[in-house]
Structure 1
Amino acid sequence: MRCLYAGILAILLSSCGKSVKTVDDQGVKIAYVDAGQGDTALLFVHGWCLNKGYWSNQMDHFKDRYHVVAIDLPGFGESGKERTEWTTENYGRDIDSVMSQLHLNKVVLVGHSMGGDLCLEAALHAPDRVIALVGIDNFKSINPETPTQKADDARTYTVLKEGFTKAAFQYFQGDLFYKTADTIQRRILTDVANADSAVAIAALQGNDNFEERKNLQAFGKPLYLINSDYTPTDTAALTAAHVPHEVMYIKDTGHFPMVEKPADVNAALDAVMANITGH
């Protein structure tokens, strides 16, 4: 299975037209692929336990018009693990380092799932570089967690530490897959199984205290959401928080629309870029 998956990943990466490169953030290697050129850049950030290969379709779609970059977050994919604290703040700094070292000055950050929070943190680090933030199936509820939800999180971490792969698989078997094709499910579950469990759990815990509502208000620029419709997006909370936003829904898909329905995601992202650039 691992050999088969490695072959599939190699094909996906080669479709971007570029080999894997690296930058360094305080001693940690950050792997990335890029293609295209232009003043405006799209920087893609994957979600929990995934990798840059999940953006291959978007990279191919946009590379003729923009500079496109997809990274492996430290601890995942081909990036390094030379770190002891896996916080949202550190990940935000990683993304900022990539933008700085690649001299990206007009950046649209695109983050899937937990990657949305990491992109928001990076945007707060570099407000002059980031012109817009795009979330892929995230920011569905920006209200602070209740004590009950925090207690549920604590129990989840305990279960993950006792048996990471089994617990993670059970979690992913819920609404996250909805009508997801079996081949995509196997790909995702393979990546979860191969993840460093200590890093994966620490990254979740490191995200616990991130305040989406407050930080979106501090960002102040438009938030574009390309969300699956399998669970609702609390647009009323975004409006009440005075967060400028636009939501586009991908129908009949699960939590991974960029690989489940890439053409629909690309069309929505095309609309976002037309709004941002005026073209």
Structure 2
Amino acid sequence: MNSVSTAFRNKGGLCRRSHGRRALSVTTGLTLMVLVFGAAKALAQWPQMVRSADGTAISCEVHGNGEPTLVFVHGWNCDARYWRAQVPYFAKRHRLVILDLAGHGHSAATRTRYSMRAFGEDVCAVTTAAGAARVILIGHSMGGSVIAEAARLMPDRVVGLIGVDTLENIEYPVTQEDADKMVVPFRKDFKAEIRRFVGEMISPRTDGRLREWILADMSAAPPEVAIGAMEEMLKQYISGEAAKIFEQIRVPVISVNGDLWPVNYDANRRHMASYEAIVLKDADHFLMMNRPEAFNRSLDKAIRMLTDTR
């Protein structure tokens, strides 16, 4: 992967698409089950819509109990489904909040600008709606930039940040020329470029069915949302804001990463209150999906590292 792709990969992530917005159907059988086992309890587990700061409807789910609350934020072109291997594992001990960012999954796509700041407001809105007072924010790929924005919005609630295959180098140099060259192929043939771009992030050892699911899913994303979010994220690296924002967030940061790209510890520690990385050998960008057992153990370790010191 070229250097510009590497810069974006540190922020981009998984998927959303039109088929991800299918309406939920309620069958007669399910209705009877709700009546028998208690409507309030059943409905409490259903996805909910929460209004973000600008009024955009954000889809979210709450699972489990226990503090701190873990808020899972997907990456570029992705949605909450990419965390499905984590829900049963972590909901045993924690309350989980999982959301679709605006323009992704089941959330509304009504914005004209898909900035990292606005995505951070989505995370803040669902965290507030869930009543979470002590929070660890977990963000995959582009979600690493999003959770930094969210932490800036709610400094009194965030215990720490965990990046998932992201934040390898928050000083990574990106010029406007780099950004322009990167975006052009997506404008010319969005689906083909998604498959090429994302395909470079998937290990050849990954199950072929999962690989094709990821590629098909991400290439079905709305191009206007995807390209807009990419441009907004790259702006943060061009301006240096990707690093500067961490100087305002005085909480520990940990990454759980694959080993496709090196981690620049010194660059990160120049701006973060503290930074550590857990690197999974032979893992790729979608390690929470194609290496779920090893990833869950590593994420659990990162959570303990944050909570043992707070």
Q: Provide the TM-score with structure 2 as the length reference.
A: 0.80
Q: Deviations over 1:203-243 (max 9, x none)?
A: 11111222222112221211010010121111121234454
Q: Which residue of 2 aligns with 1:270?
A: 300
Name the % identity.
28
TM-fit CA distance, 1:65 = 0.8
**Aligned equivalents of 1:133, 1:32: Cα separation in 2:** 19
Q: Deviations over 1:137-192 (max 9, x none)?
A: 00111115243xx3222122121111100111111222444532212211111211
Can you give the 5+ residue segments of structure 2 that lack an aligned partner in the other structure? 1-18, 25-43
Equivalent residue in structure 2 for 1:18, among 38, 45, 48 = 45
1:94 and 2:122 aligned: yes
Report if the CA contact (8 A) 2:252-2:272 is conserved: no
SS at match of 1:208: helix
Q: How does 1:62-141 map to 2 (within 5 A)?
A: 62-141=90-169
Q: Deviations over 1:15-50 (max 9, x none)?
A: xx9322211113311111221122320000001111
**Aligned equivalents of 2:145, 2:204: Cα separation in 1:** 23
**Aligned equivalents of 1:75, 1:227: Cα separation in 2:** 26
Q: Deviations over 1:66-121 (max 9, x none)?
A: 10111111101111112111111111111111111111110100000001100110
Report if the CA contact (8 A) 1:52-1:70 is conserved: yes
Q: Which residue of 1 aligns with 2:277?
A: 247
**Aligned equivalents of 1:30, 1:242: Cα separation in 2:** 29
CA RMSD of aligned residues (A): 1.9
Can you give the 5+ residue segments of structure 1 that lack an aligned partner in the other structure? 11-16
Q: How does 1:1-279 map to 2 (within 5 A)?
A: 18-25=45-52, 26-147=54-175, 150-210=176-236, 211-241=241-271, 243-278=273-308
Q: Provide the TM-score with structure 1 as the length reference.
A: 0.89
**Aligned equivalents of 1:28, 1:240: Cα separation in 2:** 35
Q: Which moved more, 1:207-216 or 1:86-95?
A: 207-216
Report if the CA contact (8 A) 1:29-1:80 is conserved: yes
**Aligned equivalents of 1:263, 1:170: Cα separation in 2:** 27
**Aligned equivalents of 1:241, 1:50: Cα separation in 2:** 28
Report if the CA contact (8 A) 2:73-2:143 is conserved: yes
Report if the CA contact (8 A) 2:252-2:306 is conserved: no
Q: Which moved more, 1:72-81 or 1:177-186?
A: 177-186
Report the count of equivalent residues: 264
Runs of 4+ aligned residues of structure 1 deviating over 6 Å after TM superposition are none
The structure-2 alpha-carbon separation of the partners of 1:123 and 1:87, relative to structure 1 and needing over 3 Å to count, comes to same
The structure-2 alpha-carbon separation of the partners of 1:178 and 1:143, relative to structure 1 and needing over 3 Å to count, comes to farther
SS at match of 2:302: helix
SS at match of 1:207: helix
Larger Rg: 1 or 2?
2
